[in-house]
Amino acid sequence: MNSTNNKQDEVAVTVAADSAAGHERAAEGKLGSRAPGFIRKSSLLRLGWQVGVFVVGLAVVGAGIAMLVLPGPGWLVIFAGMAIWATEFVWAQIFLRWTRRKVTAAAQRALDPRVRRRNIVLTTAGLVIVTALFGIYVWKFGMVMPWKIAQ
């Protein structure tokens, strides 16, 4: 009698685990186009839609790349362009899911007390080094603004 109860418990645990995994997959959504139905039915409209989505996504990603060296939220705009591409292209959806998993894992690691202590120690050491270098510069050259230095 005990062995049958154990088997039933194992089956229940397996079903619960499979159910949880299924809910996670359902929460992520299905891969594929999110174009309206009438666009998906016509191959010519679908091709035009895909070209339009690609061009708009490319413009947004290009602007994000430019913002990496210019003022602006470069990475945020790049991911916005990837999200635009993800409305139509499976490869972009897969990339965004991978990125979301990696960012979530990094956030969880950052909450680890040992990692936080290490980051605080490294930040403090960096600030001490920068302050020392600034002090050496002021000691050697004085407090002269860079635009007033005689050439």
Residues with Cβ within 8 Å of residue 16, at least 6 apart in sequence: none
pTM, full prediction: 0.53
Q: Which pLDDT does position 61 carry in this prediction?
A: 93
Q: Averaged over 134-143, what is the pLDDT?
A: 86
Q: What is the pLDDT of residues 54-95, one digit of tens each?
A: 999 999 999 999 999 998 898 899 999 999 998 888 888 899
Q: Which pLDDT does position 16 carry in this prediction?
A: 47
Q: Which pLDDT does position 98 carry in this prediction?
A: 92
Q: Averaged over 44-62, what is the pLDDT?
A: 90
